[in-house]
Structure 1
Amino acid sequence: MPSDPRDAPSSGRFEGREHILPVRIYYEDTDFTGVVYHANYLRFFERGRSDALRAAGVSHSDLLEGERPSAFTIVHMEIDFRRPARIDDALEVRTLYERIRGPRLFIRQRILRGAELLCEAQVEAACIDLSGRPTRPSPRLVAQLTPILGDAG
């Protein structure tokens, strides 16, 4: 019998409130020069946010199947590219859920190679219902996120 994907362990670990996801750069992540293609940083950031939520006990599947079905959508993202990542690099995606305001979640993310900052993003996500309208996160979701938030206000 196949296992439920919601039971799969999250990748990465928390150091305090910050989630750290290791990422290895493969050939498929790069352009013809061996440098990571810029759009792939978005993928790495997405994985970081998803695994941080999973490690905090939040499953995207459970959100969709809950009493008040909901999901997240990105409404704003600012990205600063500092240095290029290259094939075979071992990176860390660091994700910090900073606060919740109404339906919005504010997240800060960084990608590092060792101590070297390669890319950083400020992300604003919104909790939405299945019709796409903004909705406040459920009390259960807020409770699950509270230990990793700097300000749950």
Structure 2
Amino acid sequence: MHPLRTNRSDYRIYFEDTDVTGIVYHANYVKYFERGRTEALRASFSDLGALMETDDPCTFAVAGLDIRYKVPAKLDDIITVETILQSAKGAKMIFDQKIWRGETLLAEAVVTVAVITLEGRPRRMPEAMNQRMDELTG
């Protein structure tokens, strides 16, 4: 399977991620999901900054986020963020993401990402990116 189609990235939980009880604060899961998506995209597009510097630049914005929390992550845990590209068409990508501690599912999310201009307006994926996404999801 191609790296963007299913990507896994590991992270350690630090004090800064937790509340006084050593449990990860709920909003930090959004950061972990973001890191997972970024690593998944980097696996297929190596230089993400280059997408903003072409003759047909674009960037991304989260348009929708649906998170389900299952079991809390704790201080010093090693978590794995699993990112699966479900679809990529037109001006959006949909990712299925899960956070694991070993075999235990901690949280899952469906994330819709919009492709936008550098001015923040929705736009279709540049042709080269669209072709690459077709290869990955086809």
Residue matched to 1:3: none
Identity %: 39
Q: Is the 8 A contact 1:56 1:148 kept in 2?
A: no
Say if 2:74 is the partner of 1:82: no
Query: 2:58 corresponds to which residue?
Result: 70
TM-score, normalization: structure 1?
Answer: 0.83
Q: Which piece of structure 1 moves more, 53-62 or 100-109?
A: 53-62
**Gaps spanning 5+ residues in structure 2: where?**
none
Which residue number in structure 1 is paired with residue 106 of structure 2?
118
Q: How many equivalent pairs are there?
A: 137
TM-score by length of 2: 0.92
Is this contact kept in 2: 1:18–1:148, CA < 8 A? no
User: 2:91, 2:125 within 8 Å by CA — same for their partners in 1?
Assistant: yes
How many Å apart are 1:28 and its aligned residue? 1.2
Q: Which moved further from structure 2: 131-140 or 82-91?
A: 131-140
Does the CA contact (< 8 Å) of 1:70 and 1:129 recur in 2? yes
CA–CA distance in structure 1, aligned partners of residues 91 and 79 of structure 2? 31
Q: Show the counterpart of 2:122.
A: 134
Deviation at 1:18, TM superposition (A): 0.9
The root-mean-square deviation of aligned C-alpha atoms, in Å, is: 1.7
**Offset of residue 120 of structure 1:** 0.4
After TM superposition, what 4+ stretches of structure 1 lie above 2 angstroms from structure 2? 142-149
Q: C-alpha displacement at 1:60, in angstroms? A: 2.7
d(CA) in 1 for partners of 2:22 and 2:32? 17
**Matched residue, 1:106:** 94
CA separation in 1, counterparts of 2:25 and 2:84? Answer: 24
Once the two structures are TM-superposed, the CA of residue 147 in structure 1 deviates from its matched residue by 4.1
